[in-house]
Structure 1
Amino acid sequence: MRALAEFILRGRLQATAVALIGNWVPLLTPATVALVTLRVGRNNGLLILLWGVLPSLLLLGFSQIAPAVATAVVGGVLLTYGAALFLRRGSGWATCLMGIVAVATLMAVLLGALAPDAVQAALQSWNQLLEELASSVDASVSSYSATFVLGMLAYGMAFPAALGLMLGRWWHSLVDNPGGFGAEFQALKLHPIQAVTSMAAAVYCLFQGLDYALWSALFLLPLVLQGVAMVHRLVAIKGLGVQWLFVFYAVLILLEPATQLLAVLAFLDTWLNFRERATPRA
């Protein structure tokens, strides 16, 4: 990974090439934009951003749902760029993550208001896909509303933006401060007001039905990432092997309730300070 980071930082041509390739490799484009922005500055980061999202912008005229898809892709990279600027200026991780969620929400709402036709086209395609999948296994399926599609777009912007920012920051630390990202990430902790806001919004959406499921996941995202940071820190304090992290991620990916449980534990960690209470294993 360090070799890739050094290659990206070798010059604009190299960074542009990686950002373009990132349109076919998950997280590569936002991570490249984050790395260049953090290491070189906003102007160079903006230039790599523009090249990185060019393929998505060129697809706008190819179908009715393209505007919605392009908005998600471009919006995610823009969120990464903006968060990297704030991180470069000294803002904390909690503020950056909450900002990503807030701006993703605003962008999705604006898309629903300014381009309802694109949202409806995406909704029709989604419902049609679900119906085809259901008919192939002889099952019934419920239709979703535009609220679900907007939640999908908002989450589709925020999630890769947050992970891309983290990956870019990790690459940055490999070049300039080896090991620094680990300590920085493991200290991630929301302010109590941020934690309450995140949890309250997620719980509200959770009780609104399936159309709000991804909205709930969106608002829980900062707490989930705090929970991941907490687990990493506890594993480090206890001196446990990396295999425990593999098990943790496997459970997190395969069992959906595990994500919600992790968010609850992170919410409690805001006040109970599990990491500060932990002691090294004897």
Structure 2
Amino acid sequence: MLVLASFVMRGGPQAVMLTILLAALSLLIPPASILSTSVVALVTLRKGTVPGALILGLATAISGGIALLALGGVNLAIGFLILMWLPVWLLAVLLRSSRSLALAIVGAMVLGFVMLGGQFMQSADPVAEWTALLGPFVESLADAQLVEGSQQATLVALMASWMPGIVAAGFFLQLTVSLLLARWWQALLYNPGGFRTEFHQLRLPRVLSIALLLAVLPMLMQSGTEVTVAEYALILLVVAWFIQGLALAHGIVGKLGSSSGWLIGIYLLLLFALPHTVIVLAMVGIADAWFDFRARLGPRGPGQAS
């Protein structure tokens, strides 16, 4: 990662080239999009708003030209700009000016809500569109005998009803990971240990926990099975508090000087018990917003293990 970050900071041409190549690679390997957006964020965080805007502008223009020649249109480049490079550039500008990682994550969540609203602006019934898209996929699972044929329609309806919120939450999480990765790169190059301190001290505003409660209340009072906008908002809020809980875990392990095996265990749980682990970490993150567990822990004594 240090080699990649160093290459980006060699100059504008290198940053533009890597931004485009990684974005193209993301069409085959989706996680590569995180690296592409992190390049834009790193340049913005280190060099400023205008250099970062120049990188995303040149990347859009060049990728647009390539797409026009190869595909006959520039929609792909515009998609990269709107969904990847521009949002993370805005967040990097916010983080650079405020120096508040918590504020930047709140900004990413706001963009997640914009993504959620955009789905309803683009289509009067995004759930119906997801139903049409997911139908053939679930049918292929039924053909492979991975899903019972009698459950096919029920599964499609369940998945489609939650997809608008899941897409928005995925967008929010991707932006956050990209920004955190860029911040880590910046620390590796210019401020060793700085990202560790910043992430360990991350604390989201308490008002978000109240917002989560307000999103939960309609769920408790409704009697139908239809998924509401409040439940989509709840997904975004849970993801935000999950990030807080993860930062808390890192902070406590660092402050106590505990073995990194604890963190490895958490990430393994995320692999094998994803929903449950996310919810638990989110609940712990909400509790930390009110009780500030890290402040209650004293500094590690000389007799404790490192």
State the TM-score bracket (shorter-chain normalisation): 0.7 to 0.9
Tell me how many residue pairs correspond in the alignment. Answer: 278
Deviation string 1:206-242 (CA, Å, 9 cap, x unpaired) is 9886856765332212211111110001111221222
Given the alignment of the two structures, is residue 163 of structure 1 paired with residue 177 of structure 2, yes or no? yes
Correspondent of 2:115 among 102, 107, 116: 107
Q: Determine the C-alpha separation between the residues in 2 that align with 1:222 and 1:122.
A: 25
After TM superposition, give the deviation of residue 48 of structure 1 in Å. 2.4
- CA RMSD between the two structures: 3.4
Given the alignment of the two structures, is residue 240 of structure 1 paired with residue 248 of structure 2, yes or no? no
After TM superposition, give the deviation of residue 18 of structure 1 in Å. 1.4
Q: Aligned in 2, Cα 1:259/1:152: closer, same or farther, shift over 3 Å?
A: closer
Q: Aligned in 2, Cα 1:83/1:240: closer, same or farther, shift over 3 Å?
A: same
Identity of aligned residues (%): 26
Q: Aligned in 2, Cα 1:278/1:148: closer, same or farther, shift over 3 Å?
A: same
Q: Determine the C-alpha separation between the residues in 2 that align with 1:164 and 1:80.
A: 7
Given the alignment of the two structures, is residue 263 of structure 1 paired with residue 282 of structure 2, yes or no? yes
Correspondent of 2:208 among 173, 190, 194: 194
Larger radius of gyration: 2
Q: Determine the C-alpha separation between the residues in 1 that align with 2:226 and 2:259.
A: 38
Q: Determine the C-alpha separation between the residues in 2 that align with 1:176 and 1:75.
A: 29
The one-letter amino acid of 1:44's match is: P
State the TM-score, normalized to the length of structure 2: 0.78
Q: Determine the C-alpha separation between the residues in 2 that align with 1:159 and 1:146.
A: 20
Correspondent of 1:221 among 239, 242, 249: 239
Tell me whether 107-116 or 224-233 shows the greater mean CA deviation. Answer: 107-116
Task: Answer yes or no: is the 8 Å Cα contact 2:242–2:282 preserved in 1.
Answer: yes
- Aligned residue runs from structure 1 range 2-41, under 5 A: 2-23=2-23, 24=25, 25-41=32-48
Tell me whether 211-220 or 131-140 shows the greater mean CA deviation. Answer: 211-220
The one-letter amino acid of 1:266's match is: G
Given the alignment of the two structures, is residue 98 of structure 1 paired with residue 98 of structure 2, yes or no? no
Q: Higher relative CO (CA 8 A, sep ≥ 6), structure 1 or 2?
A: 1
Task: Answer yes or no: is the 8 Å Cα contact 2:161–2:226 preserved in 1.
Answer: no
Q: Aligned in 2, Cα 1:82/1:209: closer, same or farther, shift over 3 Å?
A: farther
Task: Answer yes or no: is the 8 Å Cα contact 1:98–1:194 preserved in 2.
Answer: no
Q: Determine the C-alpha separation between the residues in 2 that align with 1:98 and 1:249.
A: 23
State the TM-score, normalized to the length of structure 1: 0.84
> After the TM superposition, which parts of structure 1 deviate over 6 Å for at least 4 consecutive aligned residues?
205-208
Gaps of 5+ in 1: none
